[in-house]
Structure 1
Amino acid sequence: MPAMKSAFQTVALIGKYMNPETREQILSLARFLGERHIGVFIEEKTAQHSSIKGYTTLQMNAIGAYADLAIVLGGDGTMLTVARALVDYKIPLVGVNRGRFGFLTDINSDHMLESVAAILDGMFDTEQRILLEACIVREGRTVAQGYALNDVVVNKNGLARLIELEIHIDGHFVQRQRSDGLIVATPTGTTAYSLSAGGPILYPTLDAIALVPICPHTLSNRPIAISSASQVSIQVVHAEDASVHLDGQMKMALQPGDHVQVKRAKNTITLLHPPGHNHYDVLREKLHWG
């Protein structure tokens, strides 16, 4: 019987750097794809750090233009990096879990080839995830900009005192708070830092954003969920040492008077899951709900 035509003709492989086990998995997956006559690209830094040769390499920003599918081998942190880099492209992402938690990378590495084979044969569930776009506005001028799949966090650094923030939503004043900071989380990010700070868990495909204060001085400052179409402005009223973090991976220093403007990014990312994927099963397993 002839092999089923693959749903994807070219696949890019992106792995967590400096991990010998990841290197062997990438090579195993590359050989597997080659046997199915699928074009294979290795992300340039992945190939360099893992000493992989013999395959065509692509810079991260070129993957969206040349590959039909990207397979990410690592933990959720690796997936966050890839999602931000490829947000302007419509390339779907598949995550193979090499980390400890894995809300985003949900294919078990022990069953990697079987799961990838099913996806190549068109057997997968598709899910759209929103991202946030954050801009720092200083004296009327945008001085920095970036994307976040999990969260945008404005917080104090080290042992600095509480910072004072003023929050507006869609131009309407909401509150002024003294706290360790504020988390603006996508539904994806509500199982990350937001969860640790007492925020709600939002279903990943909800058109919503969660605002979660970090250790507020006044306990009436509670987490709230708002429409993802809303625009949030966070003004740094007073802070000795504050910064904004995107997905906990990108950091930018803030000054008193700065505004951090957060809105839903224009594009979404597409995650492909094995057939039968269920978010409640993931929550039950990862959060040990029993």
Structure 2
Amino acid sequence: MRLHSCGSPRALSVRIPLVAHPARILLIASPSRGRTASVLESVRATLSTLGAHVDPCDADDAECVTRDVFDFAIVIGGDGTIIEQARRLLARAKPIIGINAGRVGFLAEFDSESFKTHAEFILAGNAKVRTRNVLAVAAMRGVTRLGGGCAVNDCVITAGEPFRMIELNLTVDDEAGPAVVGDGVIISTATGSTAYSASAGGSIVHPSLDALSIVPICAQSLAFRPVTIPASAHVRFTVRRANEGTALVLDGVKTCLLHAGDTITIERNPQGALFVTNPDNSYWRTLTEKLRWAAMPSYRTDTP
């Protein structure tokens, strides 16, 4: 079954589109959240200096991404805000410049100072853009669509209340696989591999890899280890046993409740999310500095 996709066909090559002069910017932020107001003020000043045309947009307004033509969307916030806006912007197929105003900001390539340094370079159309895979998900009860949508990070089938184990039958590319018996399962993109998937024991997957991860949550079988598969694979779960609260969750948002017999189909969305990269950053640097990947324990130096 071909799923309903979000946006236009996925670009196979990654390059920045033509940029108008002056550049047209959709500036998305929620000024009332945390440090956002001060970061927003700094970014506005930078854009004003460069003569960019700025269209401000409240992050809570889902309709603002449908506005007139723009070259870039600047999203100010934490990872949650950036992921939410990336989903909304899929149909526009425009590059996103993530500027951190949250705690970790793993997906935010810039802070206000680094954006100020590179803004002229970016707005001139010189920046590199990375296409990140997005999941297209559909939950079905017979021929009735229960819910679904797109996920930048992950699709999770979670046991829910009363928190007994659930059972799911897994099929990959029409080939039957094992049953997942436990608290649920995570299907993660490379982008989401550093989120819930990593906490559940999944591997960290470099975003340049065209791959998905299937990660069981507290599997009853000790032999059911996380597995990484091609992003082109078609994944299907059939619910064999569920709880009252068993649910499909996309990027942390509960989409629908699931019952025994329901099917959940996951595949790569044709259109990926486009993120402008920071020329001064690398993935490994971000892993070590923001997630403390492979960091050694702190040792006292005042002992003999």
- TM-score, shorter chain, exceeding 0.5: yes
Distance 2:221 2:146 in 1: 31
Distance 2:142 2:22 in 1: 48
Decide which structure has greater strand share.
Answer: 1
Letter in 2 for 1:179: G
Q: Which of 155, 170, 175 lines up with 1:172 in the alignment?
A: 175
1:90–1:146 Cα change, 3 Å: same
Structure 1 residue aligned with 2:90? 87
1:66 aligned counterpart, secondary structure: coil
Alignment map for 1:260-279 (pairs within 5 Å):
260-279=264-283
Q: TM-score, normalised by structure 2?
A: 0.84
Give the deviation of 1:285 after TM superposition.
1.4
RMSD of aligned Cα (Å): 2.1
Does residue 206 (structure 1) correspond to residue 197 (structure 2)? The answer is: no
Q: TM-score, normalised by structure 1?
A: 0.88
Does residue 106 (structure 1) correspond to residue 109 (structure 2)? The answer is: yes
Segments of 5+ residues of structure 1 without an aligned counterpart are 49-57
Give the deviation of 1:154 after TM superposition.
0.3
Alignment map for 1:69-148 (pairs within 5 Å):
69-148=72-151
Q: Structure 1 segments of 4 or more deviating over 4 A?
A: 5-8
CA contact (8 A) 1:60 1:85 kept: no
CA contact (8 A) 2:30 2:58 kept: no
CA contact (8 A) 1:228 1:264 kept: yes
Distance 2:204 2:22 in 1: 33
Q: Please, which moves more after superposition, 5-14 or 207-216?
A: 5-14
Structure 2 residue aligned with 1:196? 199
- Aligned-pair identity in percent equals 31
CA contact (8 A) 2:158 2:248 kept: yes
Distance 2:59 2:90 in 1: 19
Between the two proteins, the alignment pairs up a number of residues equal to 275
Structure 1 residue aligned with 2:290? 286
Distance 2:180 2:59 in 1: 42
Q: Which of 158, 163, 177 lines up with 1:160 in the alignment?
A: 163
CA contact (8 A) 1:107 1:115 kept: no
CA contact (8 A) 2:76 2:99 kept: yes
CA contact (8 A) 2:96 2:276 kept: yes
Return the structure number with greater relative CO, CA threshold 8 A, min gap 6.
2
CA contact (8 A) 2:134 2:151 kept: yes
Structure 2 residue aligned with 1:257? 261
Deviations 1:227-250 (A, max 9, x none): 111111111110112001101134
CA contact (8 A) 1:44 1:59 kept: no
Segments of 5+ residues of structure 2 without an aligned counterpart are 1-18, 296-304
1:199 aligned counterpart, secondary structure: coil
CA contact (8 A) 1:83 1:269 kept: yes
CA contact (8 A) 1:165 1:178 kept: yes
Distance 1:287 1:24 in 2: 24
CA contact (8 A) 1:154 1:242 kept: yes
Distance 1:7 1:114 in 2: 19
Letter in 2 for 1:62: T
Give the deviation of 1:45 after TM superposition.
5.0
Give the deviation of 1:36 after TM superposition.
2.1
